[in-house]
Chain A
Amino acid sequence: MAASERLARLRSAVVGGDDEPGLSLAVLAGAVAAFVSLPLVALLVRASNYGFGHLAGLLSETGSLDVLLNSLSLVVLVTLGCVLVGVPLAVLTVQTDLPGRRVWTVVAALPLVVPSYIGAFTFVSAFGPRGDLADALAVVGIERIPTIYGLQGTALVLVLFTYPYVFLTTRAALLSFDGTLVEAARTLNHSRWAAFKRVTVPQILPGVAAGGLLAALYALSDFGTPSIMRYEVFTQQIYVAQRSLGVPEGYPALLSMQLLVVVTVVLALESRIGAGDTSYVSRGSRQPGRIELGVWKWPALAFCGGVAVLSLGVPLGVLAWWFQRAGSAVFEFDPTVAWNSLKVSVAAAGAATVLALPVAGYAARSSSRFSEVTDRLTYVGYAVPGVVIALALLYLSTEFAQSLYKTVPLLVFAYVVRFLPQAVGSVRSSVLQVDPKLTEAARTLGRSSTGAFREVTLPLIAPGVAAGAALVFLTTMKELPATLMLSPLGFETLVSYIWLVRGAGSYGAAAVPALVLVGVSALSMVVILAQERYNG
């Protein structure tokens, strides 16, 4: 075919059909996607520099297979645990006559508010070998309690603070579940329980899987909890290996590659389970009748209460205890630390929002392949753990951009890579809600396309954009591994401060910053919920 035809084809493959947004938007979106993929590319290049043969050799030489096993055990245990806790809680609060359902619903979702490393902290303080429980039991004469450290403790803490993901997605699936199906099953000789097993469960499986995915990814990428609980998994080992003597060349890179492989496997698994057909034939709105618990009410309440005590009572109680015990010393807290946290979080939120606009705008308005690709690429940060991004950026800066090494801009870049997906998602759904006819109308009334964007689209998507920015701000405030690895010398944030004092064991000083972080986290939940309502 003629060259011009080829060009035209290429152009439409890139830019889409005639009613597609302009080329400049596509270019911008592509640039952003390339920009945030840099760390991953850098890591791959670095790994290949070592030679994959060398890396394979390291596999057997070092304990990296043990680390792999540890990480896998953790992920499996945590996902299972979250399902075992989250699904019953969802069923209890949606479909039964459990007393105080509304309250339990809120309480069950609240643990998301506690950053997991703070949860880990408080758990070690309460249940560790020299913790409060041990002291209390020592009085009674029990000398040794099962250790909180290791796999059991790490899994427990992670389950307690990530089960809400499964709880919330299962709950959503149950709420949108067509109750008529259960009634149909009942008229076909199935008891309520049999109907639940054969009809409800297969229908809500995709929802459960989605929540399980979030929990699994979280378990894989969490750094703080395994470090505090002394369980050697990828994240913690990458961090330690990156800065220890006696570590063979390329070991951190190897661990990172392994971790990324596991993440990919998890993502692939979920897309298979979760690909359940969501285009249900029946779309009734009737809720199935309430399951009556009868005498089972008491065990159910005990279960809900127990989970709440462990996931909310312990951390908040311990923090309050530290706060109270530290007395006036608590306020000797240096405000520069909080100020630093604020500065980087605002910078990250601003940068992420600005970068999200072209990507999300393009993805929302275009159906071309290219727009799909750029959209997907920005989700790199969602799957790649913070510790790996930080490692990649350390490599990048030491090789190519020494002046950026351990500077605030680099740190902000790490945050942006990691949390851009939140901003993109938020902006995208806002743009989708704006009827393109509105911009067309503006243009027929004499506005240029930028003018139309500024005067019509922007005001309409402003709430969604703001929500995305708020989300990035709040998640950045509590981010741990990248902060530890990339902070410039002397640059202390709330998070690095907490990490520091926990190393010294003086927990009391951590009380105020920890409470601030919990408050920040709570705010982000409020933003998410408000945004859900806004999106309908």
Chain B
Amino acid sequence: MSERSGPSRRRFLAAAGAATTTGLAGCSGILGTGSESGGGTPGIGDFRGSGAIVEDRPAPGGTSIEDLPDLEGELAIYLGGGEGGRYTTLIDLLDRYYDGFEVSQQTQPSSQLANIIVDEYDSGTTQADLFWSVDAGSLAYVSDKGATVGLSSDATSMVADDRFATDQWVGVAGRSRAVPYNTNQFDASDIPTSIDALATRDRFQGSLGWAPTYGAFHGFVTAMRQLRGEDGTREWLNAMLDQNPARYDSEYATVKQGITNGEVGAGPTNHYYPMLVFAQRPDVPLDLAFTENDAGALVNTAGASVLDGASDPELADLFVRHLLSAEAQEFLATRGFAFPMIDGVEPVGPLPTIEELSPPDLDLQSLSDVQPTIELLKDVGILS
């Protein structure tokens, strides 16, 4: 519950701002042309995102796709939330990389897919080979119910940080909870390092925005429940309600519409949303802050697991390894502003590395306990 303030509070985007005001559009990576190259095998330029914010990145390290065995055959993916089509683009790139590799996918919210996967497993009607979720909670839920088969050590060993992999699932794109804020309304020092302060400080009264129907928010609440228990979480939720926050459909909208336009001053969202806005418009009065050592600093991850009942588990496992390849991780880091999961790829410039953050000490597997979170949110009146 400490609150550090003062000039040592880092401003992330401001530092990047000056450098990026010069030239935005188009890209000229050293390797390849940047945007879709049309025909032929995609090169690194196709994977890497475009924009000044990603210029001058070194070539990614880690295992290259070329060094991995070829993907061959048909793969069916349950894709939890395509992140505005980004993940489908990555799938598309991998599809094009190999002849003789066909991939089909169905996109739905991760929690819905988790439910469907477990139902299908129970009735022996598993449809997909691979589950690619945007949050660990769903992955953990599915593995808890026994609907996954273990991943190969080749796959799991590619993940640099143990916190983001189990033998049933691996993280592929880290995402941290953060507090983006409008720099016209708040200073860096105004944003507390504890999530509780957000709920109790007067200065945030009537000035917060959130998206409580969003999956990542549920993950965050689940984390809080694990860390401080049901009652403590309930207290925090009620305190937040007293702050009279504005409600948005999604966290992206919270940032893009709410915070950027000054409708609200700050709010809890995933870290990459302010990055997305900032990448498009470097001149916005937007910055982000991270809390420390509490649920508000949770570092979650998107990830994948191979499903029990998959028609070709080896292919699915190999696909997971491709998601952890240098090119794919570069893709996720530069286009989605995620925290990469492998050594050799750094998060995009303005962002800190995971080591620099202070997430709470929490086993991500415990995020599988989603049901009570939904019930709690309904009970408190946040969800109907």
Contact = CB atoms under 8 A, between A and B. Distances in A.
Q: Do chains A and B touch in the complex (CB under 8 A)?
A: yes
Contacts of A503: 107
Contact of A490 (B76, B116, B120, B371): B76
B360 interface: no
A142 interface: no
Given A244-B112, A489-B106, A398 B119 contact: yes
B85 A506 contact: yes
B76 A489 contact: yes
B85 A245 contact: no
Interface stretch (B5-13, B55-63, B121-129, B233-241): B121-129
A372 interface: no
B140 to A, nearest CB: 12
A130 B258 CA distance: 12
Interface in B262-278: none
Contacts of B373: 246
B164 interface: no
Interface in B97-131: 104-108, 111-116, 119-120, 123-125, 127-128
A398 B115 CA distance: 14
Contacts of A63: 384
Contacts, number: 61
Contacts of A399: 123
A489 B371 contact: no
Contacts of A397: 125
Interface in A474-505: 487-490, 500, 503-504
Contacts of A232: 384
A246 B104 contact: no
A245 B84 contact: no
Q: Which of A63, A397, A406 counts the most B-chain CB atoms under 10 A from its CB? A: A406
A364 to B, nearest CB: 41
A431 B85 CA distance: 52
A489 B123 contact: no
B284 interface: no
A243 B106 contact: no
A489 B79 CA distance: 11
Nearest to B141: A245
Interface in A84-120: none
A9 B372 CA distance: 62
A504 B127 contact: no
Nearest to A506: B85
Interface string A61-89: 00100100000000000000000000000
A489 B105 contact: yes
A399 B122 CA distance: 10
A517 B144 CA distance: 43
B127 A500 contact: no
Contacts of A223: none
A426 to B, nearest CB: 35
Interface residues of A, number: 23
Given A130-B257, A243-B108, A243-B112, A402 B125 contact: yes
A244 B377 CA distance: 15
Interface string B64-83: 00000000000010100010
A399 B119 CA distance: 11
Nearest to B110: A245
B111 A490 contact: no
A405 interface: yes
Interface in A213-255: 232, 243-247
Contacts of B227: none
B362 interface: no
A38 to B, nearest CB: 18
Nearest to A395: B123
Contact of A245 (B107, B114, B127): B114
A406 B127 contact: yes
A405 B78 CA distance: 16
Interface string A377-407: 0000000000000000000011100100110
B104 A490 contact: yes
A489 B127 CA distance: 7
B76 A398 contact: no
A45 to B, nearest CB: 16
Contacts of A504: 82, 84-85
A247 B113 CA distance: 14
Given A489-B128, A490-B106, A245 B123 contact: no
Nearest to B256: A130
Nearest to A247: B115
Contacts of B84: 504
Contacts of A489: 76, 78, 104-106, 127-128
Contacts of B125: 397-398, 402, 405-406
Contacts of B112: 243-244
B257 A490 contact: no
Contacts of A488: 127
B239 to A, nearest CB: 23
6 contacts: A245-B374, A246-B370, A398-B120, A406-B125, A488-B127, A489-B127
> 7 closest pairs, A vs B, by CB?
A490-B104, A246-B374, A398-B123, A405-B125, A243-B112, A246-B371, A489-B127
Given A406-B127, A504-B82, 10 more contacts: A232-B384, A243-B115, A244-B111, A245-B141, A245-B371, A246-B370, A246-B371, A397-B125, A489-B104, A490-B104
